[in-house]
């Protein structure tokens, strides 16, 4: 699960922001705030993407069941 491209990207992005925050003392407080905000937004986006994916897969299974599992290829 931790090899998913989104997670790898988010970890790399947060690492860059944390490193910037540590190396810029005059901007440290605002950089840390941005890291926290970014992490929260990324978490919410990842959660919503997972929720939407789950809902779509559920509806897909429901539709396939209603068509007898044929996949809707047009077979009578």
What would the pLDDT profile of 37-66 be if each residue is shown by its tens digit? 999 999 999 999 999 999 999 999 999 888
> Is the residue at 71 inside a domain?
no
pLDDT for 73 beyond 60: no
Name the range with the highest mean pLDDT among 17-26, 27-36, 42-51.
42-51
Q: What is the pTM of this model?
A: 0.49
DSSP string for residues in 6-73: HHHHHHHHHHHHHHHHHH-GGGHHHHHHHHHHHHHHHHHHHHHHHHHHHHHHHHHHHHHHHTTTS-SS
Domain count, the chain: 1
Output the average pLDDT for the chain. Answer: 81
Structural domain of 11: 5-66
> Is the residue at 72 inside a domain?
no
Average pLDDT over residues 14-27: 76
């Amino acid at each position: 699960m931790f090899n998913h491209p989104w997670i790898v990207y988010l970890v790399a992005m947060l690492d860059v922001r944390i490193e910037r925050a540590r190396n810029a003392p005059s901007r440290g407080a605002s950089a840390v705030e941005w890291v926290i905000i970014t992490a929260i937004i990324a978490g919410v986006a990842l959660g919503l993407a997972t929720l939407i994916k789950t809902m779509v897969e559920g509806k897909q299974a429901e539709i396939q069941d209603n068509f007898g599992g044929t996949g809707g290829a047009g077979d009578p």
